[in-house]
Amino acid sequence: MIRGVRGAITVSKNDENEITLAAERLLRDMIDSNQIVPDDVASIFISATDDVDAAFPAKALRNLEGWTYVPVMCMKELAIPGSLQMCIRAMIHVNTQKKQDEIRHVYLEGAVGLRPDL
């Protein structure tokens, strides 16, 4: 069965290095927290708010050993008034036998308030 693993992180500035490091930190945390291996992943979607455009956050996945062939796509997050800014979000589509409540979603930095219930 395919399950979605959600995650988000904020950056303090629109800088290529900071975006890449933050996206890599987020992905590593999501992967580690859920014991995900590349062969179990169907795809990864990564979105960023309009104010995060100095780099493709999806490039961070290529810094992870063994993740070369996993399809990844960047997209823009909806620009809703009052929504969290400077934010990178990720969704990993993973084949797993885990139940929904066993999935560990990851929210870091300023993104911790997005899903306080998790």
Judge contact between 88 and 52, C-beta under 8 A.
Answer: yes
- φ/ψ (deg, to 5) at 117: -75, -15
Counting the structural domains of the chain, the total is 1
**92 falls in which pLDDT band (50, 70, 90)?**
very high
Q: What is the mean pLDDT of residues 1-24?
A: 97
Establish if 118 belongs to a structural domain: no
Write out the catalytic residue numbers. 6, 62, 74, 77, 89, 107, 115
Residue 96 within any structural domain of the chain:
yes
CATH code for the domain of 91: 3.30.1330.40
Residue 116 has pLDDT above 80, yes or no: no
Is 36 part of a structural domain of the chain?
yes
**Per-residue model confidence (pLDDT) at position 85:** 96
Tell me the pLDDT band of 114, cut-offs 50, 70 and 90.
confident
Domain of residue 81: give its range: 2-113
What pTM was estimated for this model as a whole? Answer: 0.95
Residue 101 lies in a domain: yes
